[in-house]
Structure 1
Amino acid sequence: LEETFSAPELAEAEALCQTQLAPQSDYVDLTDRPFVTIDSASTQDMDDALHAQSIGDGWLLSVAIADASLFVAPGSLLDLAARRRLSTTYLPGLTLPMVPEVLANDAMSLQPDCQRPALVFELSIAADGAVTDLRVQTAHVRSRGKLSYADVALWLTDTNLLPADYQQLLPLQQATSAMAGWRRQHGNPMQDRPDYRVRVDNDFRVTAVDKETRDVAREIVEESMIATNASVANWLKADSALFMTHRGFKPDRETELKGLLRDTVAEVADLNGHDLTDFRTIMAAAAGLADFPLLTVLQKRFDRGAWSNSAAAHFGLGLEQYTTVTSPIRKYSDLTTHRLIKAKLLNQPLQIAEDLVSDLNERGNIPRQVGNLIENKLRLQWLAQQPDQVWHATVVHVTAIGLIAQLDDNGASGLIDMRRKKDDYSHDALRMVLKFADHTYQLGEALQVRVARIEDDKMMLALV
């Protein structure tokens, strides 16, 4: 990972701050629309700002996304630098941006009370949460507030606390709540999982590990981003653009999964898992099963997502097509899609570098993998310093030798070696269970554990 920018790259960034922040004559003036950003309190590279208003029995949702492509021209020094990085890397106490911070955290960022260029996506939302129309335009916007997830969640939980300046959060919540309901009925919503933030001091020593759960504020942002991405993908579907695809179950697991479905939800066992409508029905039936975590077992058999230059279904989300446009400051894929959007608006041909799709598929996840590796290392160092205690944990994976359990409070995962138990057991790899004479362990099961030992960045746990 590249940690710094060269002097010429920094000079190019400084020069762009002066030129590209000047008003663009062909941009619409939307500075009177009271957008707000909602993010972590420490975030500076703010890609998106939101606004919603009631229209009849529905809403108009406006999503302003930082106009990074106005600053980063194809083939420029900064474009080549961003192309090498592919995305911003977030590490505990350290951010390695895709573009220099003078752009990422200032000129491009939708900072409050600052006029900024943006791509604005206007989504017409019906009463049932369906997106019925999309309008795309380049515009100047001005955020009215840098709001944190914590504050927004507090205000919307008790609306008596909602400041007068941010009353627009109410229709925003109503619209995104309806959109979430529509996705639950027509898509394949992701399971709610907490995020864990490793906090460090100036010497990169861990001071805390914070657990962040999905709340109303995060739902607002998540639903707005997914709807925007899906709507843009639908708008681009006939073009050679950039799409995130997901084909559902791994092809080599189809036969065994059929057998599992016959044993658990026989009514959907003969459906075609490669047809999106049938796939949604299968997943809905799995989610409704009360006595066995079939949904999680099926998700363990998902294939990986992949970038493509032609539209295809995203089975994981249950959507006909999908792309990402909402993080152009942080992701080269989104920056590229912004360029394609502008070309389409101008009736120009859409072009993608031939090797970009393969490069995104081969290298695109490296920054996240590095971040996860470093977070895990630091988290285990912190855990090793904690007093011996009982931890609440959840089974997240089952192997032939034992259970992988995740500590609920801090997200650390470790192995419980079940071979140490004296009685015989059987491992059902298809259902992902371990069967003992007196108990059957399965995914999602709550446990109480102690940390047995930590070594070589791995953790061994013991059942209490």
Structure 2
Amino acid sequence: MTFPDKQTVLDYIRDNPTATTKQAIAKGLRVKGEERNVLRAILKDLESEGVLQRTGKRAWAQADRPPPTGVVEFQRIDKNGDLIGKSVGDNGPFGPDIVYAGPSGKPKAKAPGVGDRALCKISERDGEWRARSITIFEKRLSDRLIGLYSAAPNGGKVAPASRKDRREFLIQEADRNGAKDGDLVIAEPKPQGRRQYGPALGEITEIIGHISDPRSASLLAIHAHDIPTEFPEAALEQARTAVPAAAEREDLTQVPLITIDPADARDHDDAVFAEKLDDGWRVIVAIADVAAYVTEGSPLDKEAYKRGNSTYFPDRVVPMLPFELSADECSLKEGELRRTLAVEMIFGTDGNKRSHRFIRGMMKSAGKLSYEEAQAAIDGKPGGKAGEMLETVLKPLWGAYAALAKARDKRGPLDLDLPERRIRFNEAGEVEGIYTKQRLEAHRLIEEMMIQANVAAAETLERQKSPLIYRVHDTPSDAKIAAFAEFLQTIDLKWHIGERPQTHKFNHLLAETGGGDYDQMVTQMILRTQAQAIYSEENLGHFGLNLVRYAHFTSPIRRYADTIVHRALISALKLGPDGLSKEAASQLEQTAQHISDTERRSMAAEREATDRYLAIFLKDRVGAEFDGRITGVTGSGLFVALAESGADGFIPISSISNDYWVQDEAAMALYARGSGKTYTLGQIVRVKLKEVTPLQGGLLLEMLSDPLPAPEGRKEQRRNMDIGNVPRRKGGPPRSGAPRFNKKTLPKHKRKGKAKGPRR
């Protein structure tokens, strides 16, 4: 037979969703012998194109389409109280939201909760995906509740600190275990006995702080996400004694390498140097030789693996390694002898790299500068150490960066330069203000030199045929691109669906809309279209940086992935006895999954703590008015980011006005039936702060701005969408393609009893 082409393979997978493995697909298409190699190549091509999603070692499904039976990770509880998850593949959770619909077998089987993974039967009905659990194989440590204890006669209650948790525990006097009013606590559920109604009974097992403590926001996030904060004594002892592995080292002490970091940095794990050549530039990026101290299988290594990365809260850092090591022997302190794993790179005047080599050496930092000090010297205001090093060190660095910037601009990475807000605290630890971090050329210089070092690490390990962990950022999926293209049509912009997504196309859109009415709308939608960057033993490339291969090498103090890459380089280049073992190399798939998970955990905890600190900062300003920008549009309301602080608040759809508001998903907008007046993504609005809940980090807002006029190009489509609209039937999702109505906006003649909103 003639071997099927890509479309035949896709058609077969679509028509036979249970045939997920290569063997099943080959059997169904009657592929034998050498043709199996061709099938393997087609499947790999379809995966790289984003058409297929890997769901197992040798299993695939259509991108963004869950398999009929597979692992689901339950991530949150939505506003209607439904448990929501996503299908899990080799690269982590993917695809559409899946609603938990009960157990597949025994009706009284234990239900999964947030954070659980379960093997499920997955099905689709009228556009809504549902999962019925077969086996829960990753249970939470407990059904504990983290929250605020409020005292009452003969006990009290615990209210949840998370907006996603809808439970409350009733605490009897004998079960409060010393907790007082206002304490932040961990409570475990108790047997309910004959109780059938009311809040569940609970027992307080730990007091973690008090609501009045300025540090409470971070404490809640740390405990909610089980982020380890205490190091075992064995790890601390290893950090204090800090005996490095023996290795031959090259002398770099005469090279004037300098560190450029934030002014308040406690450790310095990277240093840079550049010099002009006749036909280009020589650049050295030197990194603290963490692998020499954190040896494989040691107490420090086990603890670093467990944490996966450092977690950065607005008021503190939970480090991956003890400060006794990271701020001492593994910190490239000015004037002190330090071990380093460095890369020397030669660039042409056009910024393209000609060659590179890795060096295990000894160095002495010639200077410690902040970003601001280095930038001020370059800008003509030299002072102190920066002034001394201006001609000999800083100007060559900026000259090399000018060349690298040429190659970067030609490469065309995704150009999303988003403002970064920081929270400022006073000496008492209270929130003093919010400021936008200034983005200096000095930041871009260090960033580009670190990127080049990371690329060199990936290239060397590939050349040596060494296993490694890549930092990958996959191409946007077909489903996300289709939604993006549909959105662009609503503002009279085009995207050719058949073309493979490329960064320069996104950059062209950003340039075309920059400064105009659609500037922020397009920026937000491009962000939503991107895949999540993860770690993987398989190279998928880095879409955002527009790089074919990329690995994390430059921050082994705060990322375990970098430590793995250091060990791989040591083994591949025979730079010492402390490299990556064969056993560890065989476990890289699991390691990559684990550190991707810990990174997501840290990001969620950091975001929660920031939301709480922002709510604390704004709690005394209830009733005040703010400018903001619409950052999210849902069937239940609008999310608005306040311009002054960047804090996110919510405006319920029922509070906007007496109009019947309908969600236009394609245009990311809410519009009023009849008039067509619109609130849309990216729109600048005036809002009033109605309510603040510091415990959950929530802001409730009131809309003050009038909606925009109905867009001319969208009137007809919306009119067609409204024709024949059928509200949700009891127990079923809305008809596919129909606008979504909030229960308070449903026309009276269509209401039957108490209306219920659709599941989200």
AA at the equivalent of 2:470 = F
- Within the candidate set 496, 507, 510, 1:287 is matched to 510
User: Could you give the per-residue CA deviations for residues 359-383 of structure 1, whole angstroms, max 9, x where no partner exists?
Assistant: 1232332123212211221221112
Whether 1:11 aligns to 2:224 is no
Rounded Cα–Cα distance in structure 1 between residues aligned with 2:609 and 2:499: 42
Write out aligned runs for 1:52-71 (5 A): 52-71=274-293
Give the match for residue 372 of structure 2: 150
Q: Which string of whole-angstrom CA distances, capped at 9 and with x for unpartnered residues, describes residues 15-71 of structure 1?
A: 11xx339xx661111111112211111111211111122223532221111110000
Runs of 4+ off more than 6 Å: 347-350
Alpha carbons of structure 1 residues 260 and 391: separation in structure 2 relative to 1, 3 Å = closer
Higher relative contact order (CA closer than 8 Å, sequence separation 6+)? 1
| Larger deviation, residues 211-220 vs 336-345 | 211-220
Q: Give the number of the structure whose residues are more often helix, by fraction.
A: 1
Deviation at 1:157, TM superposition (A): 2.8
Comparing 146-155 with 73-82, which one deviates more in the overlay?
Answer: 146-155
Matched residue type, 1:81: E
The amino acid that maps onto 1:381 is: I
1:192 is aligned, of 417, 423, 441, to 417
What is the identity, as a one-letter code, of the residue corresponding to 2:629? T
- Structure-1 residue corresponding to 2:324: 102
The SS at the match of 2:432 is strand
Deviates more, 1:151-160 or 1:375-384: 151-160
1:231 aligns with 2:456: yes
Report the Cα offset of residue 199 of structure 1: 3.2
Change (3 A) 1:401 1:126: farther
TM-score, with structure 1 as normaliser? 0.88
Paired-residue identity, %: 25
Contact 2:261 2:371 in 1 (8 A): yes
Deviates more, 1:104-113 or 1:177-186: 177-186
Distance 1:314 1:5 in 2: 34
Instruction: Kindly tell me the number of residue pairs found equivalent between the two proteins.
Output: 455
Give the letter for the 2:321 counterpart.
V
1:194 partner amino acid: P
Q: Residues 257 and 207 (structure 1 numbering): CA distance in 2 closer, same or farther, change over 3 Å?
A: closer
**Structure 1 residue corresponding to 2:692, chosen from 451, 454, 462:** 454
C-alpha displacement of 1:285: 3.2
**Within the alignment, does 1:311 sit opposite 2:539 as a pair?**
yes
Residues in 1 aligned to 2:240 and 2:541: alpha-carbon distance in whole angstroms: 41
Q: What is the aligned counterpart of 2:657 among 381, 404, 421?
A: 421
Aligned counterparts, 1:401-440, within 5 A: 401-419=636-654, 420-435=656-671, 440=678
Instruction: Give the RMSD, CA atoms, in angstroms.
Output: 2.8
The structure-2 alpha-carbon separation of the partners of 1:177 and 1:389, relative to structure 1 and needing over 3 Å to count, comes to farther
CA 1:443–1:230 in structure 2 vs 1: closer, same or farther (change >3 Å)?
farther
User: Partners in 1 of 2:376 and 2:301 — Cα distance?
Assistant: 40
Secondary structure of the corresponding residue to residue 78 of structure 1 = helix
Kept after mapping to 1: 8 A contact 2:486/2:667 = no
- For the 8 Å contact 1:199–1:207, the answer to whether it is kept is yes
Residue correspondence of structure 1 range 23-172 to structure 2 within 5 A: 26-159=248-381, 163-167=387-391, 168-172=393-397
User: Does 1:353 pair with 2:587?
Assistant: yes
Q: Supply the AA of the counterpart residue of 2:414.
A: P
CA distance in 1, matches of 2:370, 2:446: 11
Q: Which residue of 2 aligns with 1:276?
A: none
Alpha-carbon distance between aligned partners in 1 of 2:314 and 2:299, rounded to the nearest angstrom: 28
Select 1:214's aligned residue among 407, 415, 439. 439
Q: Which of 535, 543, 555 is the matching residue for 1:327? A: 555
- Once residues 592 and 478 of structure 2 are traced to their aligned partners in structure 1, the CA distance between those partners, rounded to angstroms, is 22
Indicate conservation of the 8 Å contact 2:457/2:565, yes or no: no
The whole-number CA distance in structure 1 between the counterparts of 2:428 and 2:339 is 37
Which 10-residue stretch deviates more, 424-433 or 121-130? 424-433
1:267: how far off? 6.7
How far 1:269 moved relative to its partner?
A: 3.9
**What one-letter code is carried by the residue in structure 2 that aligns with 1:20?**
P
Answer yes or no: is the 8 Å Cα contact 1:193–1:213 preserved in 2.
no
Please report how far the alpha carbon of residue 301 of structure 1 lies from its aligned counterpart in structure 2 after TM superposition: 2.1
Task: Give the whole-Å Cα distance in 2 for the aligned partners of 1:295 and 1:98.
Answer: 33
Unpaired stretches in structure 2, ≥5 consecutive residues: 1-226, 705-760
Cα separation, partners in 2 of 1:342 and 1:359, compared to 1, 3 Å: same
The range that moved more, 115-124 or 144-153, is 144-153
1:89/1:96 contact within 8 Å kept:
yes
* Aligned amino acid, residue 185 of structure 1: K
Q: Give the distance between the partners of 2:279 and 2:645, measured in 1 at CA.
A: 43
Give the drift of 1:84: 0.9
Partner secondary structure for residue 430 of structure 1: coil
The letter of the residue matching 2:512 is: L
Q: What is the match of residue 176 of structure 2? A: none
Residue 246 of structure 1 pairs with residue 473 of structure 2: yes
- Conserved in 2, the CA contact under 8 Å of 1:233 and 1:322? yes
TM-score, normalised on structure 2?
0.56
What is the DSSP-based 3-state SS (H/G/I as helix, E as strand, rest coil) of the residue aligned with 1:365? helix
Structure 1: runs of 5+ lacking an equivalent = 274-278
